[in-house]
Chains A and B, each alone.
Chain A
Amino acid sequence: MNKSSLIEQYFENSLSSEEKLIFDELLANDKAFAEDFYFQKDVKEAIKKEEREKLKKELQNLERFQGSNKKFSFSKKWLVAASIVLLFSFLGTFFFMKQDRFSNQELYANYFTPYENVVYPIVRGEAENELKNNAFIAYETKEYKKAIQLFEKAYEQTKEIDLLLYQGISFLAEKKPNKAIKILEEYVSTEPKYNMQANWYLGLSNLQLSNIKEAREYLRKVRNSNSEFKIEEAKELLKKLH
């Protein structure tokens, strides 16, 4: 029995009772073994802390949006809207399990949802930047035509690169995938923070245009990335493309 695989089994929770005895024996008497084990235990702890902090930040962000929606007394409306979307996406997934061949348009429609606003909490009254504020209000209320124009102006004024991502998604929501691709490619070329999000929407834009080869390329990037964003969806979608 190899020592390092004993440690491995400990973390896999798969030590037999006999192996557990050997494990305890080594832990008490073999210094190198104990050192190795406690090091890995610390690694485990460190990862747990890291994941906790990450998740805490995400939840705090989510909370901020809950709060900002409430200021507009949107929350009920949003809840209704969200549950309808949820219902449809659930029906959508259910539908998917039953059949496996879909047209590109059907696939697109089943996977497209606009990315949530994570860069700019909407405020009422004196916003630090009115254009940007209004752009996101239009975006969140699905007035994409208006949003496109406002994002354009807000970008000219502030040069904040993330605005391009939302403008691109708005174009896609308005069924203008060619324009979406142009903007999103520009966005990606700056190696931005939301690179994977942009890749996902570039994938969907190309799918909408039936450019399957390009769509695949972008979706693969999403699938192989390390961000949590849409990995599962990208995997599924890649399987369904034909």
Chain B
Amino acid sequence: MTENDKLLLLKKGDAKTLKKLYIKNREAFIAFGRKYMNSEEDILDVYQDAIIALQEQIISGKLNNLDCTIKTYLFGIGKYMLFEKNRKKQKTILGSYKTEEVEDYEIIEIDYYNEVTTNRQRKLQEVLSKMGKKCKEILTLFYYRGYTIEEIKEHLNYENKNVVKSQKSRCLKQLKSKINE
């Protein structure tokens, strides 16, 4: 499988490919992480976050053309995350950390760790997890997976775009009323 095939599968949200990627690079990441951190458990925790952040970048379409391998990109994100985790723990930083990369690894890290969750978001998350399958699916496709209305219509076999639109706004309405309860 080429890097681009993998990228396409990851973009579709293919869990198997992501897990394979996780297992394949795990040992190497632990070795890499040791430069910055001692505890294997902490390194793995960061590794998981880096994998998730990578997946988000791919899904949101920010990573359509790679000029490096997926692994390099993953380790780039991971490096900044390791650094940030160290900073939070207020420990001495092992190893050096230079900013010579072309990719926006640092921005990705900041996005991932520094997002403030508002009360309304927390409430929404709670309500969302109890919502019916249909709503959850349509909202996740649109807001998370980056599907257009047209693509959702195809994917879920709806008759036309208007049905998708009204279903989506019904779900939003439902959410709104539930968080105000």
Give A contacts to B, CB under 8 Å. 4, 8, 11-14, 39-40, 42-52, 55-56, 58-60, 62-63, 66, 82, 86, 90, 225-226, 228, 232
Contacts and interface: CB of A to CB of B under 8 A. Distances in A.
Given A39-B172, A43-B143, A228 B15 contact: yes
Nearest to A52: B52
B124 A43 contact: yes
B133 interface: yes
A113 B72 CA distance: 31
Interface residues of B, number: 45
Interface of B: 1, 12-15, 18-20, 22-23, 26, 44, 48-49, 51-52, 55-56, 61, 115, 117-118, 120-122, 124-125, 128-129, 133, 136-137, 139-140, 142-144, 146, 148-149, 165, 169, 172, 175-176
A50 B175 CA distance: 15
The dominant DSSP class at the A interface is helix
A113 B136 CA distance: 29
Contacts of B18: 55
Contact of B144 (A13, A48, A82): A48
Contacts of A49: 117, 121, 125
A8 B149 contact: yes
B19 A40 contact: no
A232 B139 contact: no
Given A52-B52, A59-B52, A63-B44, A46 B19 contact: no
A90 B124 contact: no
A42 B120 contact: yes
